[in-house]
């Protein structure tokens, strides 16, 4: 008896919640900020660094909201420095610039 062909498996993408707007999105669409075991806070572009992580949309609105409300500091249980928020804002600004340019 011949084997029946099985349909290809659909891989699920992990879902994460933005700490600013509380929307649930795929893990790859959000930016991860991590508090490393030694206590420093940094952006995690790979999504694999060890430590406590928090996710934010790469949009200027979400970054400004999370800075204003202190949601990132609350989620990571440490104060977040200005250099991390500046990196987040720069990443959000370059992300919106790419979206505007792709539509032209």
**Domains of the chain: total:** 1
DSSP state of 77: T
Is residue 8 in some structural domain?
A: no
Quote the pLDDT of residue 1: 63
pTM listed for this prediction: 0.81
Within-domain flag for 69: yes
The answer as to whether 21 is a domain residue is yes
Q: Kindly state whether residue 6 falls inside one of the protein's structural domains.
A: no
Quote the pLDDT of residue 102: 42
Give the domain extent around 76. Answer: 15-103
Evaluate whether residue 7 is within a structural domain.
Answer: no
In percent, how much of the chain has pLDDT > 70?
90
* Residue 53 structure tokens: 């992580």
Q: What is the pLDDT of residue 11?
A: 86
pLDDT value for 3: 75
> Model confidence at 96, in pLDDT bands (50, 70, 90)?
low
Q: Does 30 reside within a domain?
A: yes
Positive or negative CA dihedral for 59, 46, 13, 53?
negative
Domain-embedded: residue 3: no
Pair 88, 31: CB distance under 8 Å: yes
Residue 82 sits in a domain whose CATH number is 3.30.1230.10
């Amino acid at each position: 008896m011949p084997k029946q062909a099985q349909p290809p498996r659909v891989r699920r993408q992990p879902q994460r919640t933005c700490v600013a707007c509380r929307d649930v999105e795929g893990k790859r669409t959000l930016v991860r900020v991590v508090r490393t075991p030694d206590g420093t806070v940094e952006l995690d572009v790979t999504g694999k660094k060890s430590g406590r992580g928090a996710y934010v949309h790469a949009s200027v609105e979400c970054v400004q909201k999370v800075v204003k409300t202190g949601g990132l500091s609350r989620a990571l249980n440490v104060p977040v420095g200005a250099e991390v928020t500046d990196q987040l804002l720069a990443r959000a600004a370059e992300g919106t610039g790419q979206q505007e340019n792709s539509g032209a």
